[in-house]
């Protein structure tokens, strides 16, 4: 009896990814780990219930021995030591080629937040990854422009699978919908583990949305099992954790410990972190953030989490990677370009001075800025700052939960911006584009989540008032939507997609109007994908 059923269309080349042996490997992963995954997701709900009842998170007493212990992560491969500039983007051929050729030290090929996880994108993404390692990846635009990988050095390739909470509805295993995480990781590892090693690199991951060390332990168990099944030594697989949930801040050291044989770093996923803070503490009367543009990396809780991240990583011998600067340059508007470059430079200078070993950019034109900033700070002969232990840092649980934004205000412009960004992003996502430039910022699922979660909170909080004293209500949001849609229609012109924009508007309004907060907009939107 066959344990696996593939429900998605078999496009050309998909048979090379979804081979019988690869499917068997997915079945093994599912049968061994999916039960634990589901149990950990239920545990998230129980933890959040405790927070809602007034029990604030803190550093874990039961893991104190880990924090006090004398241990280090296993050695990090040479091609993951220099991470002064990392570029990210979806696992789409054109974007991958441009990123790998960009001059960045690392490229994160995304199968999660910056790609729409429809069936075609996820499986074609897997094919693109293998082609990239073989240096056969190419793309020709509808206009006839050809894109090919450079002959020389390319960025080191890392992949980001979907988080533990996401599923792959086109694959059923033993009658259950498969885990998006296990499908993404499983197919990548099955096809590329030995291939990467033959090319002088390795199977490298970015792990998203972890909320605690037990979720890190599950990834470690998956990696160890895969290494045994694929016949490579333990520790071959390396992972960088995206620290992008506020609860994970209380368990940084424990997360590193669980993954110590596979650990290569932690990244400050700032945008998801902000969304996570709103999501987990939306009920707290004194927690009401202003316009998202006013919640900067100098805010108390953002300083606390990033400084603790750097200190903990360097204490344990692993790398600390800075977050994404969402500003994108313009090749048509010199002033927009100047402002974007300067903001990115300031952001990266702050990170470099704080001790980060590198940082993220979203566009090839920003690689030089980021690279130069970190190169200027690094000591001669060094490719990172692991030696900077930041022993001056003392972060308490109260500091991690300090939500104050001095001088912050909710403005009508900020509300309208959130409405417009939320609708535009969801529409693009439904069309199959997971990363889109809106108002000179690169928006992906993380920033769209901030937009819709802020609108929800402002319109459900008794102190959700604009700076002119008006109460933000669901009715106010509803009245603004047609006005913002009219502006979007004018901006898009003939590119305006009436059907997708209406779908996006309907979904956005439901998400912000409902009394119960939806955990992830992408889960609701996923139901509308093929």
- Exactly one of 37, 160, 282, 350 is catalytic; which is it? 160
Element (H, E) at 15: helix 14-17
Instruction: List the one residue out of 427, 438, 414, 415 whose CA is nearest residue 491.
Output: 438
Q: What is the DSSP string of 356-370?
A: -SEEEESSGGGHHHH
- Tell me if residue 160 is catalytic: yes
Q: What tokens appear for 389 in the block?
A: 């232990």
Q: What is the DSSP string of 22-90?
A: HHHHHHHHHHHHHHHHHHHHHHHHHHHHHHHTT------STTHHHHHS---PPPPPGGGT--SEEEEEE
- Tell me if residue 260 is catalytic: no
Contact predicate 421/508, CB 8 Å = no
The whole-angstrom separation of Cα 157 and Cα 161 is 13
Contact predicate 434/90, CB 8 Å = yes
Contact predicate 290/405, CB 8 Å = yes
- Exactly one of 220, 347, 357, 444 is catalytic; which is it? 444
Expressed in angstroms, the distance from the first to the final Cα of the chain is 27
Q: What is the DSSP string of 200-214?
A: T---EEEE----SHH
How many other β-carbons are positioned within 10 Å of the β-carbon of residue 290?
Answer: 17
Instruction: List the one residue out of 132, 129, 191 whose CA is nearest residue 160.
Output: 129
Q: What is the DSSP string of 478-513?
A: HHHHHHHHHHHHHHHGGG--HHHHHHHHHHHHHHHH
β-pair partners for 168 = 178
Contact predicate 453/282, CB 8 Å = yes
Residue 416's contacts (CB-CB under 8 Å, 6 or more residues apart) are: 480, 483, 484
Element (H, E) at 441: strand 441-443
Instruction: Name the one residue in this structure whose structure tokens are 């992963």.
Output: 29
How many other β-carbons are positioned within 10 Å of the β-carbon of residue 399?
Answer: 16
The whole-angstrom separation of Cα 257 and Cα 220 is 10
The full length of the chain comes to: 530
Q: C-alpha angle with apex 99: 197 to 113, nearest 5 degrees?
A: 90
Q: Which residues belong to the active site?
A: 160, 444
């Amino acid at each position: 009896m066959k344990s696996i059923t593939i429900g998605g269309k078999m496009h050309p080349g998909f048979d090379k990814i979804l081979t019988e042996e690869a499917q068997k490997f997915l079945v093994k992963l599912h049968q061994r780990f999916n039960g634990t995954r589901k149990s950990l997701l239920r545990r998230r709900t129980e933890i959040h219930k405790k927070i809602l009842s007034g029990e604030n998170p803190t550093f874990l007493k039961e893991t104190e021995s880990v924090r006090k212990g004398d241990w280090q992560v296993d050695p990090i491969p040479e091609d993951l030591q220099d991470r002064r500039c990392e570029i990210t983007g979806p696992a789409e051929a054109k974007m991958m080629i441009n990123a790998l050729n960009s001059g960045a030290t690392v490229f994160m090929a995304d199968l999660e937040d910056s790609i729409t996880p429809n069936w075609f994108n996820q499986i074609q993404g897997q094919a693109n990854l293998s082609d990239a390692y073989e240096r056969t990846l190419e793309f020709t635009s509808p206009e006839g422009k050809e894109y090919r990988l450079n002959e020389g050095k390319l960025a080191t390739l890392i992949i980001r699978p979907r988080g533990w909470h996401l599923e792959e509805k086109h694959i059923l295993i033993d009658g259950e919908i498969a885990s998006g995480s296990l499908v993404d990781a499983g197919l990548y590892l099955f096809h590329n583990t030995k291939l990467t090693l033959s090319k002088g690199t390795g199977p490298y991951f970015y792990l998203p949305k972890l909320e605690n060390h037990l979720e890190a332990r599950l990834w470690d168990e998956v990696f160890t099992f895969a290494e045994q099944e694929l016949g490579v030594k333990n520790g071959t697989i390396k992972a960088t954790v995206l620290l992008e949930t506020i609860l994970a801040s209380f368990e940084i050291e424990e997360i590193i410990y669980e993954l110590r044989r596979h650990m290569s770093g932690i990244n400050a996923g700032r945008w998801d972190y902000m969304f996570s803070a709103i999501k987990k503490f939306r009920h707290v009367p004194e927690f009401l953030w202003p316009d998202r543009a006013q919640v900067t990396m100098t805010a108390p809780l953002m300083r606390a989490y990033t400084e603790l991240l750097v200190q903990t990583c360097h204490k344990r011998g692993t790398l600390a990677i800075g977050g994404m600067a969402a500003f994108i340059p313009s090749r048509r508007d010199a002033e927009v370009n100047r402002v974007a470059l300067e903001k990115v430079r300031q952001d990266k200078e702050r990170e470099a001075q704080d001790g980060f070993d590198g940082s993220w950019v979203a566009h090839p034109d920003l690689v030089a800025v980021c690279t130069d900033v970190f190169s200027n700070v690094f000591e001669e002969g060094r490719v990172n700052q692991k030696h900077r232990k930041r022993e001056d840092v003392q972060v308490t649980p109260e500091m991690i939960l300090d939500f104050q934004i001095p001088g912050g205000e909710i403005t009508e412009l900020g509300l309208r911006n959130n409405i417009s960004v939320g609708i535009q992003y969801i529409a693009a996502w439904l069309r199959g584009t997971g990363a889109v430039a809106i108002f000179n910022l690169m928006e992906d699922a993380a920033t769209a989540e901030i937009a819709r979660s802020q609108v929800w909170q402002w319109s459900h909080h008794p102190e959700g008032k604009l700076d002119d004293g008006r109460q933000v209500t669901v009715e106010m949001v509803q009245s603004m939507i047609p006005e913002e849609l009219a502006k979007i229609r004018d901006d898009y012109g003939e590119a305006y997609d009436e059907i997708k924009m209406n779908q996006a508007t309907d979904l956005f309004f439901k998400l912000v109007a409902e009394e119960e907060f939806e955990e992830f907009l992408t889960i609701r939107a996923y139901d509308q994908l093929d």
